[in-house]
Chains A and B, each alone.
Chain A
Amino acid sequence: MAAKTINITLKIWRQKNNKTKGSLETYKLDNVSTDSSFLEMLDQLNEQLINEQKDPVAFDHDCREGICGMCSLYINGRAHGPDTGTTTCQLHMRMFNDGDTIYVEPWRSVAFPIVKDLVVDRSSFDRIQQAGGFVSVNTSGRTMDANAIPIPKADADKAFEAAACIGCGACVATCKNGSAMLFVGAKVSQYALLPQGKVEAKDRVLNMVRQMDEEGFGNCTNTGACEVECPKGISIENIARMNREFLKASLTSEK
């Protein structure tokens, strides 16, 4: 591969911690290989900053293969950048041109407070999961044989598609209401579609939605931006399904 290189200007949000004010800082970066991922480009910038004995830019990342959900970043006004169906770690510099100015900001949402620079706190997602995102089955390995209940392939496939959510928070960051309904809808749907999840379906949706509201996430107004920016292509059908589940549970729950 004959790698091309480009020179770029970066405008990056810098903020020491959640108590101080932040601002956009400008950096020039030369000789960026177009085969590099966006995060490798940031590595290169940090290497440059360290060599100048300056403080490198903090950003979240881990697996760098688009599955752990740790990376984030608002790039040129879009969650996970200009490519579709991808996380920032799988965004490549071939999407940019020589001489481009690239704006890099953290996820912006009340429920995701900034930790430092581009790093935000998404533990609100964990708390929603803790409120009901599970099947209450203890470890035993002796529940019943895995093939005891056949599950229609279509249901299993839909449950899998919902379960493919990586919990990155792009849906929230991109939503003008800061809504987490795609994230919650995906989890509710996964279990609602499977026989194992049906037993607790009512409690689950009521508890998860209650926690979601407590965390300060906004409501859904069906703009559909979340579905467009979701790196895993989670469908907003899942929001509709959650709303149905929620309505059903609200009307029939005995609690």
Chain B
Amino acid sequence: MSKLNSRIPEGPIADKWTNHKNSMKLVAPNNRPKIDVIVVGTGLAGGAAAASLGEMGYNVKAFCFQDSPRRAHSIAAQGGINAAKNYQNDGDSVYRLFYDTIKGGDYRAREANVHRLAEVSGNIIDQCVAQGVPFAREYGGLLDNRSFGGTQVQRTFYAAGQTGQQLLLGAYSALSRQVGLGRVKMYHRHEMMDLVVVDGKARGIIARNLVTGEIERHSAHAVIIASGGYGNVYFLSTNAMGSNVSAAWKVHKRGALFANPCFVQIHPTCIPVHGTNQSKLTLMSESLRNSGRIWVPKKKEDAEAIRAGKLKPTQISEEDRDYFLERRYPAFGNLVPRDVASRAAKERCDAGFGIEANDTNEGVYLDFASEIKSKGRQAAYAKGEHSPSEERILELGKKWIEEKYGNLFQMYQKITDENPYETPMKIYPAVHYTMGGVWVDYNLQSTIEGCFVAGEANFSDHGANRLGASALMQGLADGYFVLPYTVSDYLANEIRTGKISTDSPEFDAAENDVKDSINRFLNNKGTKSVDFFHKRLGLIMWNKVGMARNEQGLKEAIEEIAALREEFYKDVFVPGDADELNPELEKALRVADFIELGQLMAIDALQRNESCGGHFREEYQDAEGETLRDDENFKYAAAWEYAGGDATKATLHKEELKYEFIKIAARNYK
């Protein structure tokens, strides 16, 4: 237990962050240019941190594997960002956002971190508007809001279905300004290959220039990892193709604990799988659940007829439809949290009511017909048309939908070749976000001194389930408003250190390790592609460490992954050379880490003998199929210590979670 000191400040919850900020050490402006900081990843957390630290005057080096920092996968976030502004006067407050997030996370997140997140949420909106982020507005010129799952207020700010894009481009503009001023040096098409630890402190990284293949040494007084989540361990997910765990995993291998790896968010509204050559899954924003109603046929024979192409959804009458979320959860309806909605969809499909004619019959409808009618009627009235025709209502209703969700509807049509204005969308849950990640204390510092971890890459704020529109909030909170303080506090002890040499045994060793692993892949005389193994890993993970898990399946998964790992190293074929752009080599190095992580996820899921949030163990459910938490035995964050490539040997450390300000209760959305 000695390894885990969460460093939560004393005092009442609402004063912790303020008091902590007032007591932290500072680095004077004249000393900052003497200090180097490395930021890995340029999404919302990394981009915001690099920009902010650059503005403060530190020497920042920022790294991304994409061809530009503007491409980080935060850009794909659609629906919105939460903030406790209470602009809609519907009873929102910092406390409500704090409470909703803790409850949404099924009481497996750290209170103090979440409260801080809620506190700074309003600043994020102010900052972004000042940067010129074009949020959606009402006719009066003020900011518009909508609802997201797991809340009963409207606190979500948005920019059509492209909120992540607009926020990321905001952070990218701030970052670009610093690059232009020479305060941040940008290394695009660079991948972090290892963390260099000297005397217990993070002192730099080894990076590979992905164009030339050159292995580079970069030293710094602190290293920030903001490399995103690990959803691609499932092969198919809503993550970008390049999203990977490697930066976080390398840090873990160098001594940082990795927490709650089994907490994965399966998002309810994604476009169903179409075939075996599919490379990724596409999300349809949760914001659509503001307007869409989720249903399957009430009668099995109707579902069968639909799958056989003999019946269209629009032909099923109202009384023959089962709006199962509205039926099971009347208080929150279609806006229950993601884990709840996903399991409910799975339950209906497992019972034979799925409507998609793919291998697994997995799919449910997301239907906009009611909303089109109701908004169309409202729009007609607003125009002074008090007895509009049916056609006029539909016309205005579709226009309203287009304004709110136009890009999502277009994307859906491109992918499926169906028009969602005329027929309901088909959706099914898919892997989307990972709540687990590198364990960090209140300062976002990992168990390696000087190595900070932010955004989705850390484990801190979302417990066992993240609420919609909270990832953008956390990424920007970490990058703009937490790290500038906590990293400075750490760096205050580094002002006398001086430039850190890259000519040291630690850098030598790390570089040699990297070169060895590259050569090993390139010289392997295998026969199968990296994707061949990645797809197999994905199937094991989805079937046995996916939406529903059980003891037997998890044990099998652990064995199967071990066998897969052996086969991978024996039989993988990586073409090309080390000194060129070599995407297959990049993939091989990433999949090697995914395999190790996948096994740890199964081990973590196996030790957690309870169901909570996205972690659903079939053995632990009530009569209605709801999750059964075990607060007596599992109210902790499970932080794993690396013990070699065989994850079954990893050591578990527990951070007991204390709920001093929120009364812990069964999560109820009924």
Q: Are A139 and B411 in contact (CB under 8 A)?
A: no
Q: Is A135 an interface residue (CB 8 A)?
A: yes
For the complex, give the distance between the alpha carbons of A46 and B529 in Å. 9
* Interface 0/1 of A1-44, CB less than 8 Å to B: 11100000000000011000000000000000101110110011
A16 touches B580 (CB 8 A): yes
A125 to B268 CA separation, bound complex (whole angstroms): 36
Question: Could you tell me the distance in whole angstroms from the C-beta of B414 to the nearest C-beta in chain A?
Answer: 5
Render B186-218 as a binary contact track against A, CB cut-off 8 A, 1 for contact.
Answer: 101000000000000000000000010000000
**How far is A196 from B131 in the complex, measured between Cα atoms in Å?**
7
Q: Decide if A92 touches B529 in the complex (CB within 8 Å).
A: no
0/1 per residue, B112-152, Cβ < 8 Å to A?
Answer: 00000000101111111111101111111111000000000
Contact B136 A156 (CB under 8 A): yes
The chain A residue sitting closest to B127, CB to CB, is A141
Tell which of B129, B417, B581 touches A116, judged by Cβ atoms closer than 8 Å.
B581
CB-defined interface of A62-73 with B at 8 Å, one 1/0 digit per residue? 111111111000
CB-CB under 8 A from A55, the residues of chain B are 575-576
Residues of chain B in range 570-586 having any CB-CB distance to chain A below 8 Å: 573, 575-576, 580-581, 583-584
Count A-side interface residues using an 8 Å CB cutoff.
Answer: 84
Flag if B67 contacts A196 (CB, 8 Å).
no
The smallest beta-carbon distance between B601 and chain A, in angstroms, is: 24
CB < 8 Å: which of B87, B142, B283, B573 contacts A150?
B142
Given contacts A39-B279, A139-B174, A153-B138, contact A115 B211 (CB under 8 A): yes
| In the complex, A133 has a CB within 8 A of chain B | yes
Decide if A222 is an interface residue (CB 8 Å cutoff): no
B278 at the interface (CB under 8 A from A): yes
Contact of A61 among B124, B162, B241 (CB under 8 A): B241
Please state if B580 and A147 are interface contacts (CB–CB under 8 Å): no
The listed residue (B75, B140, B528, B581) touching A63 by CB distance below 8 A is B75
Given contacts A62-B66, A122-B68, contact A90 B576 (CB under 8 A): no
Interface set, chain B 268-305, CB cutoff 8 A to A: 274-275, 277-280, 282-283
B493: interface (CB < 8 Å): no
Contact A64/B240 with A135-B173, A137-B130 known, Cβ cut-off 8 Å: yes
> Which chain B residues lie closer than 8 Å to A70 at the CB level?
66-67, 71
**B-binding segment of A96-104, A158-166, A213-221, A240-248:** A158-166
Q: Give the CA-CA distance A146 to B279 in the complex, in Å.
A: 40
- Asked if A65 contacts B283 (CB within 8 A), the reply is yes
**B169 beta carbon closer than 8 Å to chain A:** yes
A146 engages B275 (CB within 8 Å) = no
Taking a contact as CB atoms under 8 Å apart, the answer to whether B139 and A153 are in contact is yes
Q: Which residues of B contact A82 (CB under 8 A)?
A: none
- Residues of chain B lying within 8 A (CB to CB) of residue A191: 132
Instruction: Output the nearest chain A residue to B177 by Cβ-Cβ distance.
Output: A134
A190 to chain B: closest CB distance in Å?
7
Interface residues on B, range: 35 or more
| Contacting residues, chain B, for A252 (C-beta < 8 A) | none
Which of the listed residues A47, A51, A68, A151 has the most CB atoms from chain B within 10 Å of its own CB?
A68
Q: Which of B67, B123, B125, B410 has the most CB of A within 10 A?
A: B67
- Scan residues 161-195 of chain B and give those whose CB is less than 8 A from a CB of chain A: 162, 164-166, 169, 172-174, 176-177, 179-180, 186, 188
* CB-based contact A123/B68 at 8 Å: yes
Among A1, A40, A66, A164, find the residue whose CB has the most chain B CB atoms closer than 10 A.
Answer: A1
Q: Which residues of A contact B557 (CB under 8 A)?
A: none
B415 touching A68, Cβ below 8 Å: no
CA–CA, A144 to B547, complex, Å?
44
Contact between B173 and A147 (Cβ–Cβ < 8 Å)? no
| Alpha-carbon separation in the docked complex, A134 to B169 (Å) | 9
Q: How far is the CA of A140 from the CA of B583 in the complex (A)?
A: 39
Determine the residue in chain B with the shortest Cβ distance to A198: B132
Q: Which of B131, B176, B277, B581 is close to A129, meaning CB atoms less than 8 Å apart?
A: B176
Tell me whether A190 and B411 are in contact in the complex, defined as CB-CB below 8 angstroms, given that A70-B66, A151-B141 are known contacts: no
Q: Of B70, B73, B279, which contacts A40 at CB under 8 A?
A: B279
Q: Is B169's CB under 8 angstroms from A63's CB?
A: no
Are B132 and A126 closer than 8 Å at their CB atoms? no
B286 to chain A, nearest CB (A): 15
When the two chains form the complex, which single residue of B67, B127, B173, B481 contacts A123, counting CB atoms closer than 8 Å? B67
A135/B67 in contact, CB under 8 A:
no
Asked if A136 meets B177 with Cβ closer than 8 Å, knowing A65-B411, A141-B120, the reply is yes
> Does A255 touch B at the CB level, under 8 Å?
no
Question: What residues on B are CB-neighbors of A92 within 8 Å?
Answer: 414-415, 417
Report the separation of the CA atoms of residues A133 and B169 in the bound assembly, to the nearest whole angstrom: 10
B531, CB-defined interface residue at 8 Å = yes
Query: In the complex, what distance in Å separates the CA atom of A186 from the CA atom of B149?
Result: 34
Within 8 Å CB of A150, what residues of B? 137, 140-142
Docked-complex contact B76 and A194, CB < 8 angstroms: no
In chain A, residues 149-181, which have Cβ atoms closer than 8 Å to a Cβ of chain B?
A: 150-153, 156-157, 159-160, 163-164, 166-167
CB atoms of B126 and A145 under 8 A apart: yes
**Are B132 and A197 in contact (CB-based, < 8 A)?**
yes
Pairwise interchain contact B242-A133, C-beta atoms closer than 8 A: no
Q: Is B51 interfacial (CB 8 A cutoff)? A: yes
Q: How far is the CA of A160 from the CA of B277 in the complex (A)?
A: 35
Which residues on the A side are within 8 Å of B584 (C-beta)? Answer: 50, 56
Q: Answer yes or no: B333 CB below 8 A from chain A CBs.
A: no
Is the C-beta of A109 less than 8 angstroms from some C-beta in chain B?
Answer: no
Query: How far, in whole Å, are A134 and B128 apart by their CA atoms in the complex?
Result: 12
Q: Let me know if B179 and A90 touch, CB within 8 A.
A: no
A160–B282 CB distance below 8 A: no
Q: How far is the CA of A70 from the CA of B73 in the complex (A)?
A: 11
**CB pair A51 B529 closer than 8 Å:** yes
Residue-wise, chain A 88-131 has the 8 Å CB interface mask toward B (1 for contact) of 00111010000000000000000000011001011101100111
Q: With A138-B55, A150-B141, A151-B141 in contact, is A163–B134 under 8 Å at CB?
A: yes
What B residues does A60 contact at CB under 8 A? 67
Q: Which 9 A-B pairs have the closest CB atoms?
A: A141-B123, A150-B141, A130-B180, A134-B173, A143-B130, A160-B134, A139-B52, A146-B129, A159-B134
Besides A36-B275, A64-B240, A139-B52, 15 other CB < 8 A contacts? A33-B274, A37-B279, A62-B241, A70-B71, A122-B68, A125-B68, A126-B186, A129-B70, A129-B173, A134-B131, A140-B127, A141-B480, A146-B129, A163-B166, A196-B131
Chain B interface (Cβ < 8 Å from any Cβ of A): 48, 51-52, 55, 66-71, 73, 75-76, 85, 87, 120, 122-132, 134-143, 159-160, 162, 164-166, 169, 172-174, 176-177, 179-180, 186, 188, 211, 238, 240-242, 274-275, 277-280, 282-283, 309, 357-358, 407, 410-411, 414-415, 417, 480-481, 484, 527-529, 531-532, 573, 575-576, 580-581, 583-584
25 contacts between A and B (CB under 8 A): A3-B274, A36-B278, A63-B76, A64-B240, A67-B162, A67-B164, A69-B71, A83-B414, A115-B211, A121-B67, A123-B67, A134-B132, A136-B177, A139-B174, A146-B135, A146-B143, A150-B140, A153-B138, A153-B141, A156-B136, A156-B137, A160-B134, A163-B159, A164-B162, A190-B134
